[in-house]
Amino acid sequence: MAEETRPTDFIREIVAEHLRSGKHQRIVTRFPPEPNGYLHIGHAKSICLNFGIAREFGGVCNIRMDDTNPTKEEAEYVQSIMRDVRWLIDGWADQNIGLKHFDTVPTRVSDDFQQSAIRNQKSEILPEPLYTSDYFDNLYQYAVELTRRGRAYVDEMSPEQTDEYRRIGKESSFRDRPVDENLDLLARMKAGEFPDGAKTLRAKIDMQAPNVWLRDPVLYRIRHAEHHHTGAKWRIYPMYDWAHTLSDYIEGITHSLCTLEFEVHRPLYEWILDALELSAPRPRQIEFARLNLDYTVMSKRKLIQLVHEGFVTGWDDPRMLTISGLRRRGVTPSALRTFAHEIGVTKYPSLNETALLEHAIRNEFNRTAIRRLAVLKPIKVVLTNYPAEQVEQLDAINNPEDPNAGTRKVPFSRELYIDAQDFAEVPPPKFFRLKPAGEVRLKYAYIIRCDEVVKNAAGEIIELRCTVDLESKTGGATSNRKVKGTVHWVSAPHAFDTEVRLYDRLFTVPEPDADGDFKKHINRNSLKIVTAKCEPSLRDAQPDERYQFERLGYFSLDLDSTTDRQVWNRVVTLRDTWAKVAKR
């Protein structure tokens, strides 16, 4: 399997070296989402990287909610994130997930601290992730320690002034406050004595540093806000750099993998570990390029606009590249993992073609999907020389790629449906399908010839009257006759109707946000709903099964399905070389 071939990237090389040299005995990575939105395929890349490394090197990947900003985060997102992560790694890295250990918060009390993996019990109750906010006490103690060491101070400048001073490299007049005063002020900040924005705790580094993140970054800000996880306990909240670095340290993370935009934060990450003189082994931050895909947008901000402004039906709209959208559409975790594996991991900010994702899906589904016959846009075909009351049960192969999938019976009768696209009254060149006086094979059945095109008053085609070569059935005398085209069909009296949702890309251009106005490139025809005619055996279709409607694509049952009416999602079309030829 593709995902089993050994992937080697610069991060895995570093990890392997750290194991070889004995710097670490056991690898601990982490996936640290902020619970302020749904996970998307870019997060999937990160999940596959972090859990993949834990899995390959026999380590652990902690899942930690990076919840340091009470005004932006909500508990409901925690549930969706957990669901998405577990779905994506299920059956693959279950043994490597690091969760909250029986309600015990990790506390690094010794150098050999190690986070334990918790077995995925597959219970209905979602296990609890780790939370940065569980370390708030710890983080505060570290802040006191930093202040005591004279490496931090309480500042009173306004946000605007702080920005301005940072830009020009000027020191705050509060910078050289005595340690005792800083300690006192910090304690009073914590006690809630000051209003929002009145004071901050700042690291005392170097206001002239070329890297602006070293120009006395803010470590704590005052926020009189309720936190989704810690409630009303805190009035000061740590900033990302402080919280993330020390959470990594507390959990014994060995490799802290993040995206490129945090590259300039790394000196600060290391400064924090140094300033506190924290004992080895220390975590190491390594950055990689985030996932970019063509014909889509990836940021949470833009995805949320698509939802709120009604361009899609929700976070799990099958057109959305959120994990929940992909899941609903019918993409499997394994296909997503294969995709993540195939795009690789580098520091080059690339733009990947969505075609690669489609390929990963097709490649897997070709091996696993059950073949069925369905007609999306029916045209009636009447076989004039076939007995009116006769019904044959023909053998059809369930999956030519998998002999064990066996066969099934498909009813055949005098009246059928074929797809409108498989008939042309005035055929273009190289049209191998049905045309007046032309022949075509009905898959698993007979060769037919079109004798007559019947139209209504409006000139629309009502039915095709055809004759069937009665000897041409599989195993028959003329079954091996050379006929250029083969077409799918369904017996009219036996077929049943279903709703089928056909999806196209959400945007019309490869880089919708290149000009800063992605909404004007939205594809208004990204969803088409049709009523399809399906062969009877499809009545038993299962939600977790993937189907190929022959010659059309791969389909999956949508959760809107009821006992009365099935709703299908087209996950991806089949490769269609004829469509390309026809275009020219």
406 near RNA, judged by CB under 7 A: no
Q: Is 300 a catalytic residue?
A: yes
Q: Which residues contact 582 (CB under 8 A, 6 or more apart)?
A: 428
- In the list 444, 489, 518, 568, the residue contacting RNA (rule: CB under 7 A) is 444
In the set 86, 190, 290, 505, the catalytic residue is: 290
Residue 43 to residue 27: CA distance in whole angstroms? 21
Choose between 78 and 312: whose C-beta lies nearer to RNA: 78
Q: Is 425 a catalytic residue?
A: no
| CB 466, CB 449: distance < 8 Å | yes
Three-state secondary structure call for residue 203? strand
CB of 107 to RNA, least distance (A): 21
Site for RNA in 236-265 (CB under 7 A): 237, 239-240, 243-244, 260-265
Q: Which residues contact 345 (CB under 8 A, 6 or more apart)?
A: 7, 9, 10, 11, 12, 49, 288, 289
In the set 34, 56, 145, 353, the catalytic residue is: 34
Site for RNA in 557-576 (CB under 7 A): 574-576
Q: Which residues contact 342 (CB under 8 A, 6 or more apart)?
A: 2, 356, 360
Site for RNA in 40-79 (CB under 7 A): 66, 68-69, 72
329 near RNA, judged by CB under 7 A: no
Candidates 303-311, 486-494, 519-527, 563-571: pick the segment binding RNA (CB under 7 A).
486-494
Q: Residue 454: how many CB atoms within 10 A of its CB?
A: 11
- In the list 142, 386, 412, 431, the residue contacting RNA (rule: CB under 7 A) is 431
Residue 550 to residue 408: CA distance in whole angstroms? 14
- In the list 356, 470, 492, 509, the residue contacting RNA (rule: CB under 7 A) is 356
- Secondary element (H or E) of residue 573: strand 567-573
CB of 279 to RNA, least distance (A): 25
CB of 191 to RNA, least distance (A): 17
In the set 300, 377, 449, 465, the catalytic residue is: 300
445 near RNA, judged by CB under 7 A: yes
Choose between 195 and 314: whose C-beta lies nearer to RNA: 195
Q: Which two tokens stand for residue 294?
A: 């063509």
In the stretch 269-288, what mask flags binding to RNA with x, by CB under 7 A?
Answer: --------------------
196 near RNA, judged by CB under 7 A: yes
Candidates 20-28, 105-113, 175-183, 399-407: pick the segment binding RNA (CB under 7 A).
399-407
In sequence order, what are the beta bridge partners of 192? Answer: none
Q: Residue 511: how many CB atoms within 10 A of its CB?
A: 16
| CB 322, CB 39: distance < 8 Å | yes
CB of 141 to RNA, least distance (A): 19
Q: Which residue has the tokens 């150098």?
A: 111
Q: Is 583 a catalytic residue?
A: no
CB of 348 to RNA, least distance (A): 4
Residue 575 to residue 570: CA distance in whole angstroms? 13
Q: Residue 415: how many CB atoms within 10 A of its CB?
A: 16
Q: Which residues contact 2 (CB under 8 A, 6 or more apart)?
A: 338, 341, 342, 363
For residues 159-189, one letter each, b for 16 or more C-beta atoms within 10 angstroms of the residue's C-beta and e for the rest, the string is eeebeebbeeeeebebeebeeeebbebbeeb
CB of 436 to RNA, least distance (A): 15
401 near RNA, judged by CB under 7 A: yes
Candidates 37-45, 46-54, 403-411, 469-477: pick the segment binding RNA (CB under 7 A).
469-477
Alpha helices in 57-98 (DSSP H): 75-89
Site for RNA in 5-34 (CB under 7 A): 8-10, 13, 32, 34
- In the list 148, 151, 235, 359, the residue contacting RNA (rule: CB under 7 A) is 359
Choose between 261 and 540: whose C-beta lies nearer to RNA: 261
Residue 182 to residue 144: CA distance in whole angstroms? 9
Residue 473 to residue 442: CA distance in whole angstroms? 9
CB of 501 to RNA, least distance (A): 20
- In the list 21, 110, 123, 577, the residue contacting RNA (rule: CB under 7 A) is 577
189 near RNA, judged by CB under 7 A: no
Chain-centroid distance, C-alpha 67: 21
Site for RNA in 494-553 (CB under 7 A): 548, 550-551
Residue 82 to residue 65: CA distance in whole angstroms? 10
Candidates 22-30, 97-105, 180-188, 209-217: pick the segment binding RNA (CB under 7 A).
209-217
Choose between 155 and 535: whose C-beta lies nearer to RNA: 155
Among 59, 139, 57, 63, CA closest to 98? 63
Choose between 156 and 560: whose C-beta lies nearer to RNA: 156
Site for RNA in 109-168 (CB under 7 A): 155, 157-159, 162-163, 166-167
210 near RNA, judged by CB under 7 A: yes
How many chain residues are in contact with RNA, going by CB under 7 A?
A: 91
Choose between 261 and 460: whose C-beta lies nearer to RNA: 261
Q: Which two tokens stand for residue 161?
A: 């002034």
Q: Which two tokens stand for residue 100?
A: 């909250």
Give the active site residues: 34, 290, 300
